[in-house]
A and B are shown apart, each in its own frame.
Chain A
Amino acid sequence: MAALPTGVEEQGGWVECLHPVWEPGGRRQVLSELPGVPTSSGVCSEQDPVASSGGCNFPEHKKPELNTRAFHVGAFGELVRDRLRGQGDLSLKEPRATGIRAAWARRGRRGWDDAAVARDLGCDLEAGTELKAVWGLGKLQCCEDQDPEVIPEDTDLVTLGVRKKLLERREETLTIDRACRQEILAYEMDSHAIGKKPENPADMIEEGELILSVNVLYPVTFHKHQEHKPYQTMLVLGSQKLTELRDPICCVSDLQIGGGFSNTPDQASEHSSKDLYKSAFFYFEGTFCNDRRYPECRDLSRTIIEWSESHDRGYRKFQTAKMEDFTFNDLHIKLGFPYLYCHQGDCEHVVVITDIRLVHRDDCLGRILCPLLTKHWLWTRKCFVSKMYTARWVTNDDSFAPDDPCFFSDACFRMLHYDSEGNKLGEFLAHPYVAPGTFN
């Protein structure tokens, strides 16, 4: 396995070219390399020294609120499992069954339950039983029949006051409040796989597995996207290979079909770019992980490495490795730091690993369903004629079209440009088009 460089942070690196503006506080990060200097931001920072255990395996804030130092994912996983072992926190087992029978069973086991409480808390059995009684009294339900749709009249809570005003204003202005498609889609994507269990137990995710949340930004450069670039979010397991993340990344450039097909519209969907140009790489912390699974795959990173080594450009030595040889557990990464995914030769996506957490009982527990796509939205281009269907064709120099270029759905395109026998009518250039929002 190629050694991935770690340790001292340097300003250099390919990724810097994408983000030339560093924060003015950037100098601060040099100090934070010194041992003993607190690096974490937030409430704990003044009191806590740098955690001595774990060293660089402990994710800590580098630039406050932006990204952490580099750490090893697998080692972090080990640390988490060590800390939590033996207390049942790692377990993915279902909770005890509910229902009448279970309640009876619980009653019979009451003595056992109380003993468990007493043992865990280190108090005596009597106190344990008393606790359960007390807890029963101190219930938090205030009114059993409170309708969650209705805000109670006599509330003092500021939050509810604000919410009430909003609802009242909507009623006054007759604003119809309905979930739009984007909202429904966003919610569905986030929650569609929750709680799914695989049929085959061998496909079950193991206890203690790490889940990484990865944002892959779209390579769009519209002005309106300057502040908030649209992105898709994938949840991937620590034990999955990098190639397993690479394959499901949806990018329209993968579906592009080169060439004009005005004469042969039916042959358009033969080979997409994804089939023709299979090379790709990920860049993490000074290492280019190239996809070399197929003989057609080329090392796209070679150009960059040669460029950086040709003169003294201030970058440290880059390394290359094979994407299929690495799992996410093998990586050294910084959370919240932008990295790169490049495919199709020049289609570049910024990749940010936003979160790492332990797998939980309520997560989707089927390995084969991972990586899971949980967020994805991009506007889409619609057919000029129907204004309803997604555009599949784009024409140039088209005498039938009011616009150049003009977009059509498949049905509208054929109806307008070809007769019932499929003969081409008029002069035009036609190319298959993949709308950005194809994957919605």
Chain B
Amino acid sequence: MGAPPGLQADCEELLSRFQETDSVRFEDFSALWRSMKFGTIFCGKMRNLEKNTFTKEALALAWRYFLPPYAFQIRVGALYLLYGLYNTQLCQPKQKIRVALRDWDEILKFQQDLINSEHFDVAYIFRKLRLDKAFHFTAMPKLLSFRMKKKVQRTPVTEEFKEPNDRVMKLITSDVLEEMLNVHDLYQNMKHVISADKSNPNKTLSLVKDDFFDNIKTIILEHQQWHKDRKNPSLKLKGKDGEEKMEGNSQESESCERAASLAKIKSKAFAVVVQASKSRRHRQVRLDSSDSDSASGQATREKRNKETLKSAGRKKSSRKRGNF
């Protein structure tokens, strides 16, 4: 069948609204679900065969957002979406969610992350799906029938949902750091051992900065911190009332100020709004002419991300200069 028309737009609408809530809580998602009445997506006189095909395609579509390279929040949203679609489908018996074996490890890692970061409601939803036997464990995600004539359609990854690519952290992982430390220590010890004066190695052997490892560690930690600041700074933690505000607040106020000043500048540029085409009319940017500060429609959400990126980037480069 291919993706049913409009389904991707609807799912992305739901996920982007979820992204805007800056939360990973199920209550927030289900509130959005109810407001969009997403459960009615199966309505409309579909006969059995069409229902089956549509549900299969819907689950396969939602599944894509559950895997990397999508951001953590999007992946959580996709899990909720899968749960919602699976439980509100009209097929009897229920259509299952296809999981390729090579993705299963990734999923389990995700589950472990959830438990470690104490997002218990997400983990509970996943556990519930598993207990309900909602999964089909397969070799490959899609059926392969050697359709050579069919054009290979690469499904484009929605850029706004992607996890920002952190090449630095991928290169220097904690394993690498640990090994570096070990090698460094070993090297220093070796120098001590082979020199005549055991406590003081030969001066000619000091080819490496002694504190190089500490430097790297500091830089990496700063980079991590910068990353955290620039991402969603206020993923609400469940249950503890006061705490959720505290962590997010200080960073929030900084980024708020930045955002506000930049928004003022942008608002002049965005005083004119482009008319969205019919297929995107639900994402039409609305100009709120009353307040120039809040002239940001939906379309400027991406701009905000880019702004914080730029300003944080500037911050980072200044730090870098300071260190060396």
Q: Are B124 and A121 in contact (CB under 8 A)?
A: yes
A162 in contact with B5 (CB, 8 Å): yes
Given A40-B102, A355-B140, are A140 and B87 neighbors across the interface (CB < 8 Å)? yes
Q: Which of A51-107 contact B (CB under 8 A)?
A: 51, 58-61, 64-68, 76, 79-80, 83-84, 87-89, 95
**Chain A positions within 8 Å of B40 at CB level:** 142, 146, 151-152, 155, 157, 160
Summed over the interface, the residue pairs from A and B with CB atoms below 8 Å come to a total of: 236
Contact A158 B10 (CB under 8 A): yes
Residues of B within 8 A of A147 (CB): 43
Instruction: List residues 137-157 of chain A with CB under 8 A from any CB of chain B.
Output: 137-143, 146-152, 155-157
CB distance from A164 to the nearest CB of B (A): 7
A190 touches B52 (CB 8 A): yes
Contact of B88 among A141, A149, A152, A338 (CB under 8 A): A141
Q: Choose among B41, B121, B140, B144 the residue with the greatest number of A CB atoms under 10 Å from its CB.
A: B144
Q: Which residues of A contact B106 (CB under 8 A)?
A: 44
Q: How far is the CB of B235 from chain A (nearest CB, A)?
A: 17
B38 touches A157 (CB 8 A): yes
B72 at the interface (CB under 8 A from A): no
Question: Would you call A123 an interface residue if the criterion is a C-beta within 8 Å of the partner chain's C-beta atoms?
Answer: yes
Say which residue of A65, A87, A135, A152 sits within 8 Å of B37 (CB atoms): A152
CA–CA, A335 to B94, complex, Å? 26
Chain A residues with CB under 8 A of B155: 42-43
Tell whether, in the assembled complex, residue B140 and residue A158 are in contact, meaning their CB atoms are under 8 Å apart. Answer: no
> Are B44's CB and A158's CB within 8 A?
no
Cβ contacts A276-300/B at 8 Å (1 or 0 each) = 0000000000000000000000000
Q: How far is the CA of A207 from the CA of B157 in the complex (A)?
A: 36
Residues of A within 8 A of B133 (CB): 89, 95, 360-362
Contact residues in A for B138 (Cβ distance below 8 Å): 355-358
Residue among B47, B121, B123, B127 making CB contact with A183, cutoff 8 Å: B47
Using CB atoms, name the residue of chain B closest to A361: B133
Q: Is the CB of B93 within 8 A of A195?
A: yes
Which of B61-69, B214-222, B246-254, B300-308 is near enough to bind chain A? B61-69
- Cα distance, A59 to B138, chains bound together (Å): 10
Chain B residue nearest to A89 in the complex (CB): B130
B37 touches A155 (CB 8 A): yes
CB distance from B150 to the nearest CB of A (A): 8
| Interface status of A352 (Cβ within 8 A of chain B) | yes
Interface range, A side: 35 or more
Residue in B43, B115, B149 whose CB lies within 8 Å of A146: B43
CB distance A186 to B136 under 8 Å? Answer: no
Instruction: Give the contact stretch, choosing among B25-33, B196-204, B265-273.
Output: B25-33
B237: interface (CB < 8 Å): no
B139 CB within 8 Å of chain A: yes
Interface residue from B33, B48, B120, B154 paired with A123 (Cβ < 8 Å): B120
CA distance A406 to B135 in the complex (A): 52
A58 and B149 contact, CB distance less than 8 A:
no
Contact at B10–A336, with CB atoms within 8 Å? Answer: no
* Interface: B96 (CB within 8 A): yes
Best-surrounded residue of A51, A140, A354 (most CB of chain B within 10 A): A140
Q: Decide: B146 and A338 in contact? CB cutoff 8 A.
A: yes
Contact across chains for A138 and B96 when beta carbons are under 8 A apart:
no
Q: Which chain A positions have C-beta within 8 A of B101?
A: 58-59, 76, 79-80, 83
Q: How far is the CA of A354 from the CA of B121 in the complex (A)?
A: 36
Partner of A68, one of B43, B67, B140: B140
Partner pick for B121 among A134, A162, A167, CB 8 A cutoff = A134
Determine if A80 and B137 form an interchain contact, defined as CB atoms under 8 angstroms apart: yes
A227 with B30, Cβ < 8 A, contacts A43-B67, A67-B144 known: no
Question: Which of B's residues lie within 8 Å of A, judged by CB?
Answer: 4-7, 9-10, 13, 26-27, 29-31, 33-34, 36-49, 52, 64, 67-69, 83-84, 87-88, 90, 93-94, 96, 98, 101-106, 115, 118, 120-121, 123-125, 127-128, 130-133, 135-149, 152, 154-155, 157, 239, 279, 282
Closest 6 CB pairs of A and B: A336-B144, A158-B6, A138-B30, A357-B138, A159-B6, A358-B137
Q: Sample 6 A-B pairs with CB under 8 A, ordered by A number.
A: A43-B68, A48-B102, A67-B144, A121-B123, A159-B9, A179-B48
- Beyond contacts A66-B144, A67-B146, A148-B90: 14 other A-B pairs, Cβ-Cβ < 8 A, are A44-B67, A44-B106, A80-B137, A95-B133, A138-B31, A146-B40, A146-B43, A159-B7, A160-B44, A186-B49, A336-B144, A356-B138, A358-B136, A362-B94
